[in-house]
Amino acid sequence: MTTPLLSIRDLRVRIGDREVLQGINLDVPAGQVHAIMGPNGSGKSSLSHVLAGKPGYTVTGGTVLFKGQDLLALPAEERAREGMFLGFQYPVEIPGVNNAYLLRAALNAARRHRSEPEVDAFDFLALVKSRMQLMRMDEAFLSRGVNEGFSGGEKKRNEILQMLVLEPSLAVLDETDSGLDIDALKVVAAGIQTLRAPDRAIVLVTHYQRLLDHVAPDQVHVLARGRIIKSGGPELALELERRGYDWLLDDAA
Amino acid sequence: MSTQDPSLDALLARGYQHGFVTDIESDTVAPGLDRDTVRFISAKKGEPQFLLDWRLQALDRWYEMKEPHWAKLQYKPIDYQDISYYSAPKANTDGPKSLADVDPKLLATYEKLGVPLHERARLAGVAVDAVFDSVSVATTFKDRLSAAGVIFCPFSEAVHNHPELIERWLGTVVPYGDNYYAALNSAVFTDGSFVYIPKGVRCPMELSTYFRINAAKTGQFERTLIVADEGSHVSYLEGCTAPMRDENQLHAAVVELLALDDAQIKYSTVQNWYPGDENGVGGIYNFVTKRGECRGRNSRISWTQVETGSAITWKYPSCVLRGENSVGEFYSVAVTANYQQADTGTKMIHIGANTRSTIVSKGISAGHAQNTYRGQVSVMPGAHGARNFTQCDSLLLGGQCGAHTVPYIEVKNPQATVEHEASTSRISEEQLFYCLQRGLSQEDAINLIVGGFCKTVFRELPMEFAVEAQNLLAVSLEGAVG
């Protein structure tokens, strides 16, 4: 077996003196989609944030290898440029900064990192417009402020659009499906499916089965009380949908 | 020094890019100020008697006045007798006749500042008057402008060629006794720009003056007068830089704008005087009086300023809205980092009926800087239907700086509408992290967020300046946030 794209070993993390991740072990090989499910407060968002390098978390033990290198040693922007993308649960508004500007700056930061020439304005526009079509977004959106006055659904679409333009090798999508109506969910799911490729991996952090109806996972993990308490195939998600988490929590206790 | 965020400290180490000194022989008068100094300046410029008399009256008035201390600014007392009030590059007795007469060192200086004076190298459509210490060294595109009937020349040249215009308009918007610094300026001003746009003329190009302080221990006291006659339009830009020095240098300018019936003046400033070093040593003391009068009906005066430089900024570009239906606007971005202090804002005085004014002020504070917006909106009894809208936003970078908003509102007409909105915020961790997660560097992220904050002001700037302003903002905040 080849080295997994993402390999987490005994990861322990604190916020203040509360241990939010208590020894996570997870391997995500290239080409696969993994779903991480679990009740509220189980540590799902903490895991996403720690992988992306958000300040405020203290790693007290364990390792994370991304494409074979020590992910935790890299500053947040380096992780992004190396191809680690976080789809935010609550994308922040940046008033006055237009979407196209941020996205082009992001794409060029990654290209410079790979010693590729910066993308010119015309090529960039063509690329974004093709991805926007896929996400069924209006072109007027490009000149609007980043997430400024967006509805919850628009913000999530925007996250997926950014992902499709940046083409990361690892996308961690933190509850991208929450707050979406059925139609928007389908569009977002189709966008995620587009990114699936043999050299990429996707981690879906979600509460619900419904996204997984459209993006079939290779593996499903249940995160509870800061630990992965059960892993299985797609059928595990269906079972959780039917039975909830309590039976697992009782087992684990 | 330590802020809560260590990366903020790193960003505070700013670089000033215009801090070089031009090695040029100067004719500089000994420090000190008395009636003889004023006579010396006036004689040096070969001025008519009325102007000398006016200067001397101003000096007498100044002697009676006290330095104002109501602004939120702290600085060591200024010794007005320790300043030289006149400095000119040598071999420049009557001012150059053409660019061929200008000392190549001076041309190189402006080249280095990004203001090439050779007309073929200039951005098409912008005429420049370059003021070096106390004198104007070059003015471009004079011929093309005079073909349109526009007068754009150094102030001292206007005194010779158009004394009747100067005598008629000088001091009618800012009288010599207006305030302490205006009185000082009126007594000792040395040069600046004069603009007259005749009736019905739309000025065919942007006009700009580039001010440069070079000599040590000198003050710069320039005077700008812009008269837009009936139905005329003009857009004017002003840029400023100075060398890096350990001592503070005084800059006390006066700008008077006058708009007659249906005339429009748009005045944009990018002020980047040397701000002092990261410990607050050195830098320009910038005490400036800028006022525009909408004297005519339907006239309009718009001030846009981007203030990134100076150790001390004391400046309130104002509009006196006398003409019916006249409009005053003030758009400002003031950035203070390290130990800079800015007390800036505007006054909108509504006198005529149906006068309108808009104020948008964006203050950005980093390091140990203090940034105050001070604004006055007055509606006089005759200003029926007057409207004002004011928006003041402050952005704080780090935990050691301060932002203050001091609005004075005085309404003497019951039909007037005055609105004031204010906000103070910090760059949020969330916004920063969002940008970092998209691969942007810390600095790029901050520039992006601050640029977005300033956008409503930047879009008021002429295009060439908007780009410069954005870049300047990036340099000013270099190392300022982490």
pLDDT tens digit string along A149-169?
898 899 999 999 999 999 999
User: Is A80 in Cβ contact with B439 (below 8 Å)?
Assistant: yes
Residue of A55, A96, A102 with shortest CB distance to B438: A102
- Cα(B124)–Cα(B122) distance, rounded to whole angstroms? 6
Confidence of residue B398 (pLDDT cuts 50, 70, 90): confident
pLDDT of B121 over the 50 cut = no
Least reliable range by pLDDT among A6-10, B268-272, B356-360: B268-272
Confidence of residue A250 (pLDDT cuts 50, 70, 90): confident
pLDDT of B68 over the 70 cut = yes
- Cα(B445)–Cα(B430) distance, rounded to whole angstroms? 11
Determine the pLDDT at residue B91: 54
Q: Exposure pattern of B298-312 as b/e (b: 16+ CB <10 Å)?
A: bbbbbbbbbbbbbbb
A6-252: CATH topology: Rossmann fold (3.40.50)
Between residues B46 and B398, which one has the greater pLDDT?
Answer: B46
pLDDT of B320 over the 70 cut = yes
User: Is B431 in Cβ contact with A109 (below 8 Å)?
Assistant: no
User: Is B436 in Cβ contact with A80 (below 8 Å)?
Assistant: yes
Highest mean pLDDT among A203-217, B278-292, B466-480: A203-217
Q: Give residues 144 to 183 of A whose Cβ lies within 8 Å of B.
A: 145-146, 162, 166
Q: How far is CA B78 from the centre of its chain?
A: 20
Residue of A88, A101, A109 with shortest CB distance to B439: A109
User: Is A105 in Cβ contact with B438 (below 8 Å)?
Assistant: yes
Chain A hits for B439, Cβ within 8 Å: 77, 80-81, 106, 109-110, 113, 166
Determine the pLDDT at residue B136: 63
For B177-190, write each residue's pLDDT tens digit. 999 999 999 999 98
Determine the pLDDT at residue B9: 41
ipTM above 0.85, yes or no: yes
CA distance A162 to chain B (A): 9
Between residues B444 and B292, which one has the greater pLDDT?
Answer: B292
Q: Where do runs of H (alpha helix) occur along B81-129?
A: 104-112
Chain A hits for B431, Cβ within 8 Å: 92, 94
Determine the pLDDT at residue B279: 81
Residue B169 phi/psi, 5-degree rounding, is -105, -25
Least reliable range by pLDDT among B28-32, B373-377, B468-472: B468-472
Here the tokens at position B422 are: 């204010």
pLDDT of B284 over the 90 cut = no
Chain A hits for B437, Cβ within 8 Å: 52-54, 76-77, 79-80, 85-86, 88
pLDDT of A1 over the 60 cut = no
Determine the pLDDT at residue B470: 73
Residue A73 phi/psi, 5-degree rounding, is -80, -10
Residue from A79, A82, A89, A94 to probe the interface with B (highest B Cβ count within 10 Å): A94
CA geometry: angle B402, B403, B406, nearest 5 deg: 135
Chain A hits for B441, Cβ within 8 Å: 77, 109
Question: What type of residue sits at position A146?
Answer: V
CA geometry: angle B253, B256, B261, nearest 5 deg: 170
Q: Give residues 436 to 465 of B whose Cβ lies within 8 Å of A.
A: 436-442, 444, 448-449, 451-456
- Cα(B101)–Cα(B99) distance, rounded to whole angstroms? 5
B448 and B395 in contact (C-beta within 8 Å)? no
Chain A hits for B5, Cβ within 8 Å: none
- Cα(B136)–Cα(A253) distance, rounded to whole angstroms? 84
Highest mean pLDDT among A79-83, B113-117, B447-451: A79-83
User: Is A91 in Cβ contact with B438 (below 8 Å)?
Assistant: no
User: Is A81 in Cβ contact with B439 (below 8 Å)?
Assistant: yes
| Minimum Cα–Cα distance from B430: chain A residue | A92
For A121-130, write each residue's pLDDT tens digit. 899 999 999 9
User: Is B444 in Cβ contact with A105 (below 8 Å)?
Assistant: yes
Least reliable range by pLDDT among A38-42, B126-130, B314-318: B126-130
Between residues A151 and B26, which one has the greater pLDDT?
Answer: A151
User: Is B429 in Cβ contact with A77 (below 8 Å)?
Assistant: no
User: Is B428 in Cβ contact with A53 (below 8 Å)?
Assistant: no
Confidence of residue B317 (pLDDT cuts 50, 70, 90): very high
- Cα(B251)–Cα(B181) distance, rounded to whole angstroms? 10
Determine the pLDDT at residue B4: 36
CA distance B398 to chain A (A): 16
Determine the pLDDT at residue B3: 34
Chain B hits for A94, Cβ within 8 Å: 431, 434-435, 448-449, 452
pLDDT of B389 over the 60 cut = yes
Share the mean pLDDT of chain B. Answer: 84
For B220-246, write each residue's pLDDT tens digit. 888 999 999 999 999 998 876 666 666
For A49-64, write each residue's pLDDT tens digit. 999 999 999 999 999 9
User: Is B436 in Cβ contact with A113 (below 8 Å)?
Assistant: no
Least reliable range by pLDDT among A91-95, B311-315, B428-432, B465-469: B465-469
| Minimum Cα–Cα distance from A93: chain B residue | B431
Say yes or no: A198 contacts chain B, CB-CB below 8 A. no
* Strand pairing category for B283-294 and B248-251: parallel
CA distance B434 to chain A (A): 7
| Minimum Cα–Cα distance from A92: chain B residue | B431
pLDDT of B8 over the 50 cut = no
Count how many residues are written for chain B. 482
Highest mean pLDDT among A217-231, B15-29, B62-76: A217-231
Average pLDDT (B368-393) is: 94
pLDDT of A141 over the 90 cut = no
Determine the pLDDT at residue B106: 66
- Cα(B50)–Cα(B43) distance, rounded to whole angstroms? 12
pLDDT of B58 over the 90 cut = yes
User: Is B437 in Cβ contact with A95 (below 8 Å)?
Assistant: no
Residue from B331, B433, B446, B467 to probe the interface with A (highest A Cβ count within 10 Å): B433
Residue of A80, A85, A97 with shortest CB distance to B452: A97
Q: How far apart are the first and last CA of chain B?
A: 14
Say yes or no: B422 contacts chain A, CB-CB below 8 A. no
Residue of A55, A110, A145 with shortest CB distance to B433: A55
Distances (CA, A) of A42 to A31, A207, A231: 27, 11, 15
Chain A hits for B440, Cβ within 8 Å: 77, 102, 105-106, 109
Here the tokens at position B472 are: 């300047």
Q: Which residue has the tokens 């003056």?
A: B209
Chain B hits for A109, Cβ within 8 Å: 438-441, 444
Confidence of residue B270 (pLDDT cuts 50, 70, 90): confident
Average pLDDT (B297-310) is: 91
- Cα(B159)–Cα(B55) distance, rounded to whole angstroms? 13
Best CA proximity match to B291, nearest among B259, B264, B323, B254: B254
CA distance B234 to chain A (A): 28
Say yes or no: B467 contacts chain A, CB-CB below 8 A. no
Chain A to chain B, count of Cβ pairs less than 8 Å apart? 78
B244 and B273 in contact (C-beta within 8 Å)? no
